[in-house]
Structures are given as C-alpha cells and as structure tokens.
Amino acid sequence: MVLEIPTYLPTYLDVAAAKRRLQGHANVTPLLRHERLDEISGVHLYLKNETAQKSGAFKYRGAYSRLSLLNEAERKGGVVAFSSGNHAQGIAIAAKELGIAATIIMPSTAPLKKKQGTLSHGAKIVEYDPSTTDRAKLAADIAKQKNATLVPPFDDKYVIAGQGTCAVELLEQCVERGVKLDALITPVGGGGLCAGINLAFEHLSPHTKTYGGEPVGYDDHAKSLRAGKRITNAPAPLSLCDALMAPTPGKITFEINRRRLSGIFPMTDEQCLQAMALAKETLDITLEPGGAIALAAALSRPKRINSGSNIVVILSGGNVDAEVFKCAKANLNT
C-alpha cells in the first residue's frame, strides 16, 4: 500500500535540506552507552544526548532551520514564538546568530533557567497566564502588530524538518558502529521531534519502530492514535515535564506520526525523576524531566520492547531548575 502524503506536509527531502542548512551551525551530539542502563532496561540502550546541542536541547535544530529561510524583509520584521522554554532558547540563539529580533511568549510558570537562558541571548519575553490565555492567539496578535514572522514550536514544516536532522545524525552514528536499530523512543509534546524522526526513519530505516513517551495527564498523542483523530486533553494538573504539556497534537505532526508511530508510553513525574538521577549517576548528564521521559520509558521495560533489542532513546533537553534536579537526586536516594 502506498501512503499518499498531503502536499503541505514535509518529506524526507525537507529533512535532508535542513541538514545542509544546519551544517556548521548545529552541534553533532554524541550517542552514548552505559552497561548499567542496559542491565536495568534489559535491552542494548543507545542514548542520543541532545543536551549537548546549542541551548541544551534539540530545539535549536528546528529554530535555525526555520529562521535561516527568512528573506531580508522578514528578517527585518523579526520573529515571534511561543514556548515553555526550549523552543524559546533555540529561537533566541538562532535569531542572535542571524541578526534577527526575537520576541518570545512564555508562560509565567516556565522554569526560571529557561527564562534566563532566553533573555541571555537577547530575546524579549512576554509572559502570560497559561490558565487563562491562549498562547498561540496571543503570539499571532503580537506578530501581526509587529509585522513579524510567527514561528510555532512544532507545527511548522521547516521546524519539523530541522528536528529530523537528529535522526539522520543518530542513524549515521549507528552505521559507524554496525548497529541495526530495532526501535527508538522519543519524548512527545506537540510531536515535532517525533514527526521529524519519523520522516527520516521512513526513508533511511523503515524497519525501525518508533515509540513516544508522554506525561500522565498529557497523553493527547496516545488518545489521538487510539481515536484515529486529534484529541484535546481536558485540563490536568501541571507536570514537571513542562516541555511536554501541549494539550493536543499538531495538525501537521499528527498526520506524520499516525503513519508509523507504534505506540506511546505514559510516564509519571516520579519515573522521570528516577531517570534523571540515573543519567546523572551513570553518564554525568543533567536532564530536565521532559528530556528524561524516553529514558524513563526504556527503563520501565515496556512489554512491546523485546529483551536484547537495540533501542535508541532521545535525551531531548537538560534545562532544569536546581530545585527540580534536587528532587531527582532525592528520588534516587529513596
């Protein structure tokens, strides 16, 4: 059966083009291993460490991919983005590198580290109350007022393509090691990283299954996959996984992910804190809760993953406030 791809969706060719744009700008992040993590998970675990990316998260890839395509007039108008923090920092860094003014709409509840990181790169922050304000509408209104370009965090063709370069890179690293991947687990919020990975894997590694990790209470992708259409979650208590609290999958991202996403593993904040502690203890990597959710899923030994499989997990970000990280270390000690 041949899948028909709507013309507005990105393809692998867009991912390949984004990889060329990012050459010399994005960091090549390492693929790591540790015997103890293999023992706990029961699989051969490979960890793609995107905390080593500019801004401490994979989001720089999509941000630079999109901003580098702006023409001269669009660059003069600046950009507006909405984000809980990692997309914000990615946009701020890419905008600074390209000489573009950036305004970021951030929730008042965003981690202080992410706010400080965004400001440190010269972006302006407009805060909002996430319980009463539609961030996308607020961002669109401000972009219109400023005659600026709106750059969403995940539902954008060129942002998705940029995130997909992470998958191309890790597959090249696997080829160098002679590793054939059975599956990959990625954090899922709005679905941009997952969509980019799926575009790359469709073309380069179609045998590899992809899975997602979502916070309990923010399992909109899991519900949408079961329903066969986009489902919006009811309001839920805040999760420590602030980067993964999108209420509904993106329109573009879901159309891509529904084609080959094999399942979603719901994870608790406690499981993410445990994964954070283990990542620090074994590899000296500092993760944020959302950045640790794929590792948490692998360590929980889901039944769909066969023992002894070759599995990659994406460590998507490491921008965490000190108080939250203390909770992770305390969680391991208990």
Same domain, 82 and 143: yes
The SS3 call for residue 101 is coil
Q: Is the pLDDT of residue 303 over 90?
A: no
Interhelix angle 251-260/157-177, rounded to 10 degrees, is 30
> How would residue 177 be classed by pLDDT, with cut points 50, 70 and 90?
very high
Q: Is the pLDDT of residue 7 over 80?
A: no
Same domain, 138 and 51: no
- Compute the 3-state secondary structure of the chain and give helix, strand, coil in percent, each to the nearest 5: 50, 15, 35
Residue 2's pLDDT is: 40
Residue 149's pLDDT is: 97
Rounded Cα distance between 190 and 193, Å, is: 8
Asked which of 123, 150, 177 is the last residue of a domain, the reply is: 150
Residue 160 Cα distances to 2, 91, 101, 226, angstroms: 22, 14, 22, 23
Residue 332's pLDDT is: 60
Residue 329's pLDDT is: 67
Residue 331's pLDDT is: 64
Mean pLDDT of the residues in the chain: 94
Residues 155 and 190: beta-carbon distance below 8 Å: yes
Same domain, 184 and 321: yes
DSSP string, 58-89: THHHHHHHHHTT--HHHHHH-EEEE-SSHHHH
Residue 88's pLDDT is: 95
Same domain, 44 and 114: no
* CATH code of residue 211: 3.40.50.1100
- Comparing 85-94, 278-287, 296-305, the range with the smallest average pLDDT is 296-305
In 3D space, the residue among 90, 86, 85, 129 whose CA is nearest the CA of residue 110 turns out to be 85
Please confirm, yes or no, whether 307 is among the known catalytic residues.
no
Same domain, 67 and 84: yes
Q: Is the pLDDT of residue 150 over 50?
A: yes
The tally of domains found in the chain comes to 2
Task: Write down the pTM of the prediction.
Answer: 0.94
Position with higher pLDDT, 8 vs 148: 148
Residue 3's pLDDT is: 43
Residue 302's pLDDT is: 79
Rounded Cα distance between 222 and 191, Å, is: 11
Residue 258's pLDDT is: 96
Same domain, 174 and 188: yes
> How would residue 333 be classed by pLDDT, with cut points 50, 70 and 90?
low
Q: Is residue 100 part of a domain?
A: yes
Q: Which residues pair with 79 in a beta bridge?
A: 102, 149
In 3D space, the residue among 18, 57, 6 whose CA is nearest the CA of residue 258 turns out to be 6
Strand order from edge to edge, sheet including 183-187:
31-32, 44-49, 310-315, 183-187, 209-215, 261-267
Residue 310: both structure tokens together: 């070759």
Rounded Cα distance between 29 and 11, Å, is: 23
Per-residue pLDDT tens for 45-95? Answer: 999 999 999 999 999 999 999 999 999 999 999 999 999 889 999 999 999
- Domain extent at residue 88: 60-150
Same domain, 106 and 163: no
Asked which of 127, 150, 173 is the last residue of a domain, the reply is: 150
Same domain, 185 and 49: yes
Asked which of 150, 175, 205 is the last residue of a domain, the reply is: 150
Cα angle 114-119-123, degrees, rounded to a multiple of 5 = 115
Average pLDDT over residues 148-171: 97
Written as one letter, the residue type at 43 is: V
Q: Is residue 6 part of a domain?
A: no
Q: Is the pLDDT of residue 6 over 80?
A: no
Same domain, 233 and 308: yes
The catalytically annotated residue of 83, 84, 224, 316 is 84
Same domain, 19 and 91: no
Per-residue pLDDT tens for 246-272? Answer: 889 999 999 999 999 999 999 999 999
Please confirm, yes or no, whether 19 is among the known catalytic residues.
no
The catalytically annotated residue of 48, 59, 115, 209 is 59
Residues 264 and 226: beta-carbon distance below 8 Å: no
